[in-house]
């Protein structure tokens, strides 16, 4: 599970500012930030839909094609089209693929684990998905996140299911470590390749 970055680069600052201005609330729970007029965003995060830790993969795979408001030399990764405003704890759950949003089902939120926040079945707030605005979150990115969440949880009981068909030239280790449940995925891969020579449970620090 990746660690949420608190980067303060210029691009990150612009990303946070644009997402905050567009949404003004947690688009998952509907909680409004009533301190916004004082520019106090404690308890709220501008979350990247496509993981912040995987920007290199974003560039290599050409996902910038989904961003329509980027500059000529900009990868579009820090466009507000790749962002949603969330409460801090909700952001952590989103990054861990414990829930996701399905644009093909009316933007319904689906939980893949215990629904302590009671968000399962809610609808993504319309404030971040106005079809007439070039600031709206992109459906393509929401679909990507939903697919990854399904793959990570399809075995049930919190046990992720991993795609292990790595094309030639793929950075297999990088792919595993940048994805969800890195320790379990690495164990599964090493166990399948090394058989009895690998002792499960030795990678829990990942």
Q: Note the pLDDT of residue 185.
A: 57
CA distance 180 to 3: 11
Residue 74 makes CB contacts below 8 A (sequence gap 6+) with: 64
Same domain, 17 and 116: yes
Same domain, 53 and 100: yes
Q: Note the pLDDT of residue 7.
A: 43
Q: Note the pLDDT of residue 92.
A: 94
Same domain, 175 and 127: no
3 state SS for the chain: CCCCCCCCCHHHHHHHHHHHHHHCECCCCCCECCCHHHCCCCCEEEEECCCHHHHHHHHHHCHHHHCCCCCCCCCCCCCHHHEEEEEHHHHHHHHCCCEEEEHHHCCEEEECCCCCCCCCCCECCHHHCCCCCCCCCCHHHHHHHHHHHHHHHCCCCCCCCCCCCCCCCCCHHHHHHCCCCHHHHHHHHHHHHHHHHCCCCCCCCC
Backbone dihedral region for residue 177 (phi beyond 0: left; psi -120 to 50: alpha; all else: beta): alpha
Residue 172 makes CB contacts below 8 A (sequence gap 6+) with: 166, 189
Q: Is residue 79 part of a domain?
A: yes
Same domain, 48 and 66: yes
Q: Note the pLDDT of residue 184.
A: 58
Note the pLDDT tens digit of each residue in 136-159: 999 999 999 999 999 888 764 334
Same domain, 79 and 168: no
Same domain, 92 and 53: yes
Query: Do 188 and 180 form a contact (C-beta atoms < 8 A)?
Result: no
Instruction: Name the domain count of the chain.
Output: 2
Same domain, 117 and 188: no
Q: Which residues of the chain have pLDDT under 70?
A: 1-10, 72, 155-206
Query: Cα–Cα–Cα angle for 153, 193, 165, nearest 5°?
Result: 50
CA distance 102 to 132: 20
Same domain, 169 and 117: no
Same domain, 32 and 52: yes
Give the domain range for residue 171.
Answer: 161-195
Task: Compute CA distances 145 → 108, 197, 200, whole Å.
Answer: 13, 35, 28
pTM of the model: 0.71
Same domain, 117 and 31: yes
Between the CA atoms of 194, 199, 202 and 206, what dihedral angle is there, to the nearest 10 degrees? Answer: 30
Q: Is residue 1 part of a domain?
A: no
Q: Note the pLDDT of residue 155.
A: 61
């Amino acid at each position: 599970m990746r660690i949420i970055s608190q980067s303060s680069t210029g691009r990150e600052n612009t990303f946070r500012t644009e997402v905050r201005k567009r949404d003004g609330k947690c688009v998952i729970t509907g909680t409004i930030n009533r301190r916004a007029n004082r520019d106090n965003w404690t308890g709220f995060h501008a979350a990247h839909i496509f993981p912040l830790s995987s920007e290199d993969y974003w560039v290599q795979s050409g996902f910038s094609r989904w961003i329509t408001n980027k500059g000529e030399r900009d990868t579009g990764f820090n466009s507000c089209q790749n962002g949603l405003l969330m409460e801090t704890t909700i952001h952590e759950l989103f990054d861990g693929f414990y829930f996701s949003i399905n644009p093909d089902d009316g933007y319904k939120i689906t939980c893949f684990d215990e629904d302590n926040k009671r968000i399962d079945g809610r609808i993504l707030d319309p404030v971040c998905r106005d079809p007439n605005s070039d600031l709206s979150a992109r459906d393509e990115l929401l679909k990507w996140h939903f697919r990854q969440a399904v793959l990570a949880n399809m075995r049930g009981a919190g046990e992720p299911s991993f795609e292990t068909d790595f094309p030639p030239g793929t950075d297999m280790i990088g792919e595993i470590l940048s994805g969800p449940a890195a320790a379990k995925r690495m164990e599964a891969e090493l166990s399948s390749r090394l058989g009895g020579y690998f002792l499960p449970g030795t990678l829990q620090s990942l």
